[in-house]
Structure 1
Amino acid sequence: MAGPFEGPFQGSIEREAILARIAAHPIEGGPEARRRAFAELVLGDHAPGTPYDSISIAGEGGTIVYLHGGGYAFGSPRSHERIGAALAEATGLGVVLPVYPLAPEHPWPVQLEAAVATVEEADGPVVLAGDSAGGHLALVTALELGRRGVDVAGVILFSPNTDRSGLSSTRARNEASDPMVDDEGDTELARQCFGDLPLDDLEVSPLLADLGSLPPLLLEVGRDEVLLDDSLLLAEAARAAGVPVTLHVEPEGLHMMQLWAPWWDVAAASLERAATFASEVTGARRRA
């Protein structure tokens, strides 16, 4: 298996190189075609699609449980291993990137059940993290654990899906500026996972839930993303519920921008902020 920092780029890159790669690797077709296309986009043109195993990176002082994005339909621990490896290297904490069942073969809530089980088995303190649909899963998992009285030290969300009830204005306004997400495609993926659950169901749209049990929260999102409001509205609601919130809106950011570290300085800076946050909430000594 290739190392975590191998991939489609060599050396530092600019935003335009990522845009060109995204344009050349559309995520389309049936479930297996989408999984292979996403793997090739992120890992290289000869990457296998599925299956992948969970990835555990040893550390001490606590655990970051990282839940990969991909619309609940694609992505894997391997596609997001670079993110996990960077966080482990910067913090010294253990990092677990679990496999969870994908839709449409496995509808909700098996993803939530798998995430809760992973946290319950992790060495604490635990930081929950995830991007896009993985950010949604991290948020819903944190809320479920709060209802169960299970402590989580912090939550890191990279461009999460948080609301499908219609409150967002950027799902329409930013479609032309977001090369990774359009509302129609995002809605299709959600339907595959959530089926006939109402759009205002608290697990489909956790923005509407009681957020008061959440631990400190870090949100990172790009200014021109379709899901920008999903982060802005969550930050506002969480603060109103008394949750400590750190929000960074990146002017140059792209959806799932963290996938492009270490080559893109914008992505690397986002992971640096996440590593600092994880170290602070767990009490771990931040590595230089």
Structure 2
Amino acid sequence: MDRAALERHIKATPVEGSPADMRAAFLRLAHPSGVPDLPEVTAVGGCPGRWFGQGGRPILWLHGGGYVFGGSASHAAPARALADQTGRPVFVPDYPLGPDHPWPAQREAGQDVVRALGVCDVVGDSAGGHLALVLAPRMAGHVGRLAVLSPNTDRTGLSTTRRRNSGSDLMNDDAQDRVLGDMALSALPDDDPEASPLLADMTRMPPLFISTTTTEVLLDDALLLATRAARSGIAVTLDVQPDLFHMWHLWPDALPEARRTLAAVAGHLVAPARNCPT
């Protein structure tokens, strides 16, 4: 599948309806040729999920999907690609989803997984990037390196591209992002750092890799995060790709840009880790 065919698939597979409908649609969206064979579901820290690859120190991938859909099945392709590129196992947990499980269920499940893994490196995309940014400073002794792809960081209005890029992002728009966020985060005011990790104290963040694209809704979420982290003295690598769409990394088999992004994440994660437990 080339990019044109993938874009037709995205347009023909709207993620809408009930939460159950959205979960089924997003799984179809992530796998244009059908869901591949998947590893068996196992549990880490009481949270079900799937392992991809094997080898050394594990990588935790916190999946996106607005805290309403997504999981280890939808993120199989990028998780496998990252495992291949790093030579390390990647665990994707199926953490609790809203609206049945509102915040802080996601944070608590993530903390339990990190404790069980003793994991040193974390990847998060979209809402999973939000979760990773909340978890990393809380688990500072366990997270050596962090990579966030199209992270959701600001619900206060500082991010101007949420509206400006709503017409150019095939995978996201401001209205849908707000609806999904409210299903899990509605109990939090927008300026709470757990709702908008952009506002959190960045000084306990590990070395940070951020990837975004110029035409996605969450461009400013990433750019503002990079600025705040750098001003807090955190080592930051910012990767800005032109003319893509939110969560392009889901399709490494179709998009060379996705493969390059995951290779950049792998390069960040294989550098010597900081503050890893022994």
In the superposition, the TM-score normalised over structure 2's length comes to 0.91
Alignment of 1:137-176 (within 5 A): 137-146=131-140, 150-176=141-167
Secondary structure, in 3 states, of the residue corresponding to 1:248?
strand
- Match for residue 113 of structure 1 among 108, 131, 134: 108
Q: In structure 1, how many angstroms separate the alpha carbons of the residues matched to 2:232 and 2:118?
A: 28
Give the 4+ runs in structure 1 shifted more than 6 A: none
Q: In structure 2, how many angstroms separate the alpha carbons of the residues matched to 1:108 and 1:198?
A: 12
- Match for residue 34 of structure 1 among 17, 22, 35: 22
Q: In structure 2, how many angstroms separate the alpha carbons of the residues matched to 1:119 and 1:42?
A: 26
1:46, distance to aligned residue in structure 2 (A): 5.5
Q: Deviations over 1:131-171 (max 9, x none)?
A: 1001111111112213xxx2311111000100101111101
State the one-letter code of the partner of 2:10. Answer: I
Secondary structure, in 3 states, of the residue corresponding to 1:54?
strand
1:56, distance to aligned residue in structure 2 (A): 1.4
Alignment of 1:1-288 (within 5 A): 9=1, 13-14=2-3, 16-44=4-32, 47=35, 53-124=48-119, 126-146=120-140, 150-282=141-273
1:243, distance to aligned residue in structure 2 (A): 0.4
Q: Deviations over 1:22-80 (max 9, x none)?
A: 100000100100000101111247659xxx75111353331110011000000110110
2:53–2:80 contact (8 Å) kept in structure 1? no
Superposed CA RMSD in Å reads 1.8
State the one-letter code of the partner of 1:249. Answer: V
State the one-letter code of the partner of 2:55. Answer: E
State the one-letter code of the partner of 2:164. Answer: R
2:124–2:148 contact (8 Å) kept in structure 1? yes
1:282, distance to aligned residue in structure 2 (A): 3.7
Instruction: State how many pairs are aligned.
Output: 265
Q: In structure 1, how many angstroms separate the alpha carbons of the residues matched to 2:244 and 2:272?
A: 25
Aligned to 1:286: none
Q: In structure 2, how many angstroms separate the alpha carbons of the residues matched to 1:164 and 1:281?
A: 33
Q: In structure 1, how many angstroms separate the alpha carbons of the residues matched to 2:122 and 2:185?
A: 22
Unpaired segments of 5 or more residues in structure 1? 1-8, 284-288
State the one-letter code of the partner of 2:11. Answer: A
Q: In structure 2, how many angstroms separate the alpha carbons of the residues matched to 1:180 and 1:240?
A: 31
In the superposition, the TM-score normalised over structure 1's length comes to 0.88
Unpaired segments of 5 or more residues in structure 2? 42-47
For structure 1, which segment, 249-258 or 221-230, has the greater mean C-alpha deviation from structure 2 after superposition? 249-258
State the one-letter code of the partner of 1:144. Answer: R
2:118–2:142 contact (8 Å) kept in structure 1? no
Q: In structure 1, how many angstroms separate the alpha carbons of the residues matched to 2:24 and 2:159?
A: 31
Q: In structure 2, how many angstroms separate the alpha carbons of the residues matched to 1:123 and 1:111?
A: 18
